[in-house]
């Protein structure tokens, strides 16, 4: 009985070690892509300023909404940054529709992360998901403002 319990404990310990070594191995296999993404994000942070982003918008609502989604998809980083840039864009007179599309695309679409997503979850999944999120960022902006117009 005692030996039975001991062997159970031993196999449990073995299972824990196997589970964690499997997790570390699986994580390490994705590490080169994660490091690559982090390095790209570093480049974005230092090479692209808030002023550069603001200067892209034209004043045409339709065009700016597409531009907002496109910029939000290309740029990456902490969502807080997108809110700060979004706030600045509103102050500069950029359409709220474009700003909404921009902040939604920032968090839902990831061109920079696309290679990592494709490498880990598959090309078809990554491309389809990002394309859908890009389209939905504009649809979501329109839906949000249509609703706000009705309720406010």
Partner 1 sequence: MNIDKKNAKNSKTMYYRFSFLIFVIILYVALFFVNTEKTYDAVNASVDIIIQILPVLILVILIMGVSNYFLKPKTVSKYLGAESGVKGWVIAVFLGILSHGSIYVWYPLLKDLHNHGMRFGLIATFLYNRAVKIPFIPVMIYYFGVAFVVVLTVYMIIISVVEGKLLEMILYLLDRRDISNV
Question: Where do contacts with partner 1 occur on this chain (CB under 8 A)?
Answer: 15-16, 18-20, 22-24, 26-27, 29-30, 32-43, 45-47, 79-80, 83-84, 86-87, 90, 100, 104, 107-108, 110, 113, 115-117, 119-121, 124-125, 128-129, 132-133, 136, 139-140, 143-144, 147-148, 151-152
Q: Closer CB to partner 1, residue 54 or residue 129? A: 129
Q: What is the DSSP letter of 111?
A: T
Token duo for residue 57: 């918008």
Tell me how far, at minimum, the Cβ of 47 lies from partner 1, in Å.
6
The residue among 66 and 115 lying less far from partner 1, judged by its C-beta, is 115
Closest approach, Cβ 66 to partner 1, in A, equals 18
What secondary structure letter does DSSP report for 55?
A: T
Taking the complex as a whole, the smallest distance from the CB of residue 93 to partner 1 amounts, in Å, to: 15
Token pair belonging to 84:
């700060």
Q: C-alpha distances in angstroms, 140 versus 13, 49, 108, 110, 145?
A: 49, 26, 12, 17, 9
Angstrom distance (rounded) from CA 109 to CA 134: 6
């Amino acid at each position: 009985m005692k030996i039975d319990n001991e062997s159970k404990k031993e196999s449990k310990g073995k299972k824990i070690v196997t589970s964690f070594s499997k997790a570390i191995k699986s994580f390490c296999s994705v590490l080169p892509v994660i490091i690559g993404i982090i390095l790209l994000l570093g480049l974005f942070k230092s090479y692209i300023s808030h002023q550069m982003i603001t200067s892209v918008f034209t004043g045409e609502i339709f065009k700016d909404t597409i531009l907002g989604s496109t910029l939000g998809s290309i740029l990456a980083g902490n969502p807080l940054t997108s809110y700060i840039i979004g706030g600045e864009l509103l102050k500069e007179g950029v359409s709220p529709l474009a700003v909404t599309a921009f902040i939604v695309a920032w968090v839902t679409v990831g061109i920079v992360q696309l290679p990592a997503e494709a490498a880990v979850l598959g090309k078809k999944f990554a491309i389809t998901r990002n394309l859908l999120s890009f389209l939905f960022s504009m649809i979501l902006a329109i839906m949000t403002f249509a609703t706000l117009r009705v309720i406010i």
